[in-house]
């Protein structure tokens, strides 16, 4: 049976509206469901932080487990939600849906997805089946920390409520879509009665244009309104195609330029309002809010940048440059170039390009300090050697007693000079990447024990005791034993030298799933807080006079930090003046 044009058009219209309404259905359902889920998660997030606040106000030092469970019951009853209070080790301390005896049988919660996520990110959320209450739940957990206890507070909401909302949304959408679809079919059938065959071609071509296909044209041979319509559609297709190609080309160029730029770019209009800010600028200025349509000072909070923007807007040509230091919150040095955007011989906006030259200025400062420090460190022993050598040449060599003292001083300073040069060569080799460690699996306990034995006489002489608490079961790690011996020798020797008579040095260890941490703790003089951030710099000494008297070159900590980094580890320090220091070496497990 041959279908008439009316039925063909009706089928086409039905299909088009079917596709359209299906897309609308999927989109609206997804949007509403997502909106509902976000609202539920937002409510749950608000409740969990509110609950943590309640727990903080109700908790007191020494609160018993039963009292903690009562707090969970109180919060759960008032919020009409399940509340679980979990210790840092995963033990359940309280649950609003479980009594005291049931709590004793609850399995450890430390490996629950929401707890692991909260442990790593400060907030955890998951959807899963609860083996405790036998129901599908939405969980959200956040950590808390009190003076004598830390752990997590977790809220759970049954997903049955969410599913019910989703079903209601689905039923409403299906009803509306069905009614709209039926009306569309009826309307299409009515319209098809009054349309002739050319409309089918026009409809097909316009659909192709809507989908981005500009290759086909409407071909109408009648000399009536349909021909004018066809010509208009063909002209529109050509114009849209050309404009889209121009837009896509420009967009592609701009995206390529902006994505590849490491410099920050800020563009303002003629009123000084931001119309463009690339991601690089947002990253190193820590911009987290929406910037478009605002003045630079509202986003960056820096008067100098705003002044530079205003000056650029007042120009008709040329480029302004300014170097300034800002706190973001860390201190950064920026070099900013600003130029006006000229249109019709007047400023239509301005472009500012931000260069982060913090590292460049820091390297310049390090280079200057290094040259000055090397010169100073070399000058002192050389001057001493030269002075005593000249004294000997002038006749003091005949004075046997003084001559021997002078020669010992010359020898001592020559040794100090040699040690300084050797340390500089070692540091240069490490920093240039020429030092290739001989990495092998080795146990740290016997290695450190040998270092302790070697330093025992020195410790005894200074009345300092060393307590080695490393377990024999400490897992082996992949290290260069010679280099790591140098690391621990330096740390332990410093702990002895900068200690007090009767002081102690403790060697301890910690373990995690992927790391081994060795701690060298002493009861010595400690390090001022102002110096903590610089003690790993080359030639930096906290107490310069004492350090030189003890034979230090000021390079030891810098060298061993680089050695630890070669092992893909980290070296850190904590200290309080007058209360000793703790150096921590973290090495990866294999």
Strands 504-511 and 465-468: parallel
Higher pLDDT, 293 or 255: 293
pLDDT tops 60 at residue 501: yes
Are 27-164 and 261-356 the same fold in CATH?
yes
Q: Using one digit for the tens of pLDDT, what is the confidence trace for 350-369? A: 999 998 888 888 877 766 66
Q: Using one digit for the tens of pLDDT, what is the confidence trace for 95-114? A: 888 887 778 888 888 998 99
**469 upstream amide cis, omega within 30 of 0:** no
With CA atoms as reference, report the closest residue to 478 among 576, 562, 588. 588
* pTM for the predicted model, two decimal places: 0.39
Query: CATH assignment of 440-588?
Result: 3.30.565.10
pLDDT mean across residues, the chain: 80
pLDDT attached to residue 582: 92
Packing angle of the helix pair 5-58, 159-194 (nearest 10 deg): 160
- Provide the residue ranges of all domains of the chain, joining segments of one domain with +: 27-164, 196-260, 261-356, 361-431, 440-588
CATH class of 361-431: mainly alpha
With CA atoms as reference, report the closest residue to 490 among 568, 440, 427, 409. 427
Cα 287 to chain center, whole Å?
Answer: 14
Q: Using one digit for the tens of pLDDT, what is the confidence trace for 395-448? A: 777 767 777 777 777 787 677 666 666 666 666 666 666 667 778 899 899 999
pLDDT tops 60 at residue 206: yes
The residue-averaged pLDDT of 234-263 equals: 79
Cα 153 to chain center, whole Å?
Answer: 25
Cα 281 to Cα 260: distance, rounded to the nearest angstrom: 13
pLDDT tops 90 at residue 164: no
Domain 27-164 has CATH 3.30.450.20: yes
Cα 551 to Cα 498: distance, rounded to the nearest angstrom: 12
Query: CATH assignment of 261-356?
Result: 3.30.450.20
pLDDT attached to residue 538: 64
């Amino acid at each position: 049976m041959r279908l008439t044009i009316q039925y063909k058009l009706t089928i086409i219209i039905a299909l088009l509206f079917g596709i359209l309404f299906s897309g609308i259905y999927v989109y609206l359902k997804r949007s509403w469901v997502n909106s509902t889920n976000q609202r539920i998660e937002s409510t749950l997030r608000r409740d969990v932080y509110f609950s943590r606040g309640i727990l903080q106000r109700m908790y007191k030092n020494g609160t018993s487990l039963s009292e903690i469970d009562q707090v969970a019951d109180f919060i759960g009853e008032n919020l009409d939600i399940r509340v679980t209070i979990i210790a840092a080790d995963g033990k359940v301390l309280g649950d609003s849906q479980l009594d005291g005896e049931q709590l004793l049988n609850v399995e450890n919660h430390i490996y629950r997805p929401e707890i692991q996520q909260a442990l790593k990110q400060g907030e955890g959320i998951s959807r899963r089946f609860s083996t405790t209450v036998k129901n599908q739940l939405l969980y959200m957990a956040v950590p808390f920390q009190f003076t004598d206890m830390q752990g997590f507070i977790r809220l759970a909401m049954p997903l049955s409520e969410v599913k019910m909302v989703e079903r209601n949304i689905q039923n409403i959408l299906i009803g509306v879509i069905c009614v709209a679809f039926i009306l569309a079919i009826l309307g299409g059938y009515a319209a098809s009665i009054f349309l002739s065959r050319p409309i089918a071609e026009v409809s097909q071509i316009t659909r192709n244009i809507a989908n981005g296909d500009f290759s086909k044209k409407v071909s109408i041979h009648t000399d009536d309104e349909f021909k004018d319509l066809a010509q208009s559609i063909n002209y529109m297709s050509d114009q849209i195609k050309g404009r889209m190609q121009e837009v896509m080309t420009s967009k592609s160029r701009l995206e390529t330029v902006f994505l590849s730029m490491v410099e920050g770019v800020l563009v303002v209009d003629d009123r000084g309002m931001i119309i463009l800010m690339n991601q690089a600028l947002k990253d190193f200025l820590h911009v987290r809010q929406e910037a478009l349509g605002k003045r630079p000072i509202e986003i960056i909070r820096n008067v100098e940048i705003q002044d530079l923007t205003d000056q650029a807007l007042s120009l008709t040509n040329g480029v302004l440059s300014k170097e300034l230091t800002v706190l973001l919150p860390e201190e950064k040095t920026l070099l900013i170039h600003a130029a006006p955007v000229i249109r019709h011989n007047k400023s239509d906006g301005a472009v500012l390009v931000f260069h982060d030259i913090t590292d460049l200025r820091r390297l310049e400062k390090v280079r200057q300090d290094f040259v000055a420090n090397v010169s100073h460190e070399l000058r002192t022993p050389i001057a001493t050697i030269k002075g005593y050598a000249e004294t000997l040449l002038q006749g003091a060599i005949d004075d046997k007693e003084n001559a021997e003292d002078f020669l010992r001083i010359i020898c001592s300073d020559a040794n100090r000079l040699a040690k300084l040069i050797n340390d500089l060569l070692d540091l240069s080799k490490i920093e240039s990447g020429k030092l290739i460690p001989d990495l092998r699996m080795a146990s740290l306990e016997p290695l450190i024990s040998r270092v302790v034995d070697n330093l025992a006489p020195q410790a005894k002489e200074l009345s300092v005791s060393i307590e080695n608490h490393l377990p024999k079961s400490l897992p082996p790690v992949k290290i260069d034993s010679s280099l790591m011996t140098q690391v621990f020798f330096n740390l332990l020797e410093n702990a002895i030298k900068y200690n007090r008579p009767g002081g102690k040095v403790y060697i301890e260890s910690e373990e995690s799933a992927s790391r081994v941490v060795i701690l060298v703790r002493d009861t010595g003089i400690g390090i001022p807080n102002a110096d903590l951030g610089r003690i790993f710099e080359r030639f930096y000494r906290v107490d310069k006079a004492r350090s030189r008297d003890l034979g230090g070159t000021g390079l030891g900590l810098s060298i061993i930090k680089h050695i630890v980094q070669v092992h893909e580890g980290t070296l850190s320090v904590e200290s309080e003046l007058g209360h000793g220091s703790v150096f921590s070496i973290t090495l990866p497990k294999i």
